[in-house]
């Protein structure tokens, strides 16, 4: 059944941090939303690029590129694409709402499996 999706409405359906939910799919990719607060876990994805689009708040993204650490602050209406293989650490000082685009094979913690790994994502 074809329907339009309101991103903010989907984000109003849950409160957990770092627990992405599926809200759509485009061929081999899922569209997800998540709420972030505090620091996540350094990780990378072997084969998957990952797009982070900020809806509300501010996403602080640390990356390790050619042995150097770098930081980007992504604001609402902005996105960053982390290419596969790149170590990254998402964090947010205040609660931040994002939309994610990534291949269906993507595990949220990438090469790391820990207590923050969510392998069976809910569709909302």
Does residue 55 bind its own copies (CB under 8 A)?
yes
Does residue 25 bind its own copies (CB under 8 A)?
yes
Q: Which residues contact 24 (CB under 8 A, 6 or more apart)?
A: 5, 30, 31
Q: C-alpha angle 75/123/13, rounded to 5°?
A: 60
| In contact, 90 and 102? CB cutoff 8 Å | no
Q: Which is nearer to its own copies, 74 or 92 (CB)?
A: 74
Q: Could you tell me the smallest distance in angstroms from the CB atom of residue 68 to its own copies?
A: 11
Does residue 71 bind its own copies (CB under 8 A)?
no
CA distance 29 to 50: 10
Q: How many residues bind its own copies (CB under 8 A)?
A: 37
- Kindly list the residues in this chain that would bind its own copies in the complex (CB under 8 A): 2-8, 24-29, 31, 48-51, 55, 63, 65, 70, 72, 74-75, 77-84, 86, 101-103
């Amino acid at each position: 059944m074809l329907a339009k999706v309101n991103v903010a409405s989907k984000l109003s359906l849950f409160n957990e941090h770092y627990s992405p939910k599926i809200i759509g799919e485009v061929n081999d990719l899922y569209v997800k939303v998540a709420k972030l607060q505090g620091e996540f876990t350094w990780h990378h994805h072997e084969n998957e690029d990952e797009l982070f689009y900020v809806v509300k708040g501010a996403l602080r993204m640390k990356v390790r590129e050619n042995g150097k650490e770098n930081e980007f602050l992504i604001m609402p209406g902005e996105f960053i694409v982390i290419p596969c293989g790149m170590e990254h650490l998402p964090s947010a000082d205040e609660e931040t709402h994002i939309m994610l685009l990534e291949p269906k094979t993507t595990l949220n913690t990438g090469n790391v499996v820990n207590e923050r790994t969510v392998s069976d994502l809910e569709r909302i």
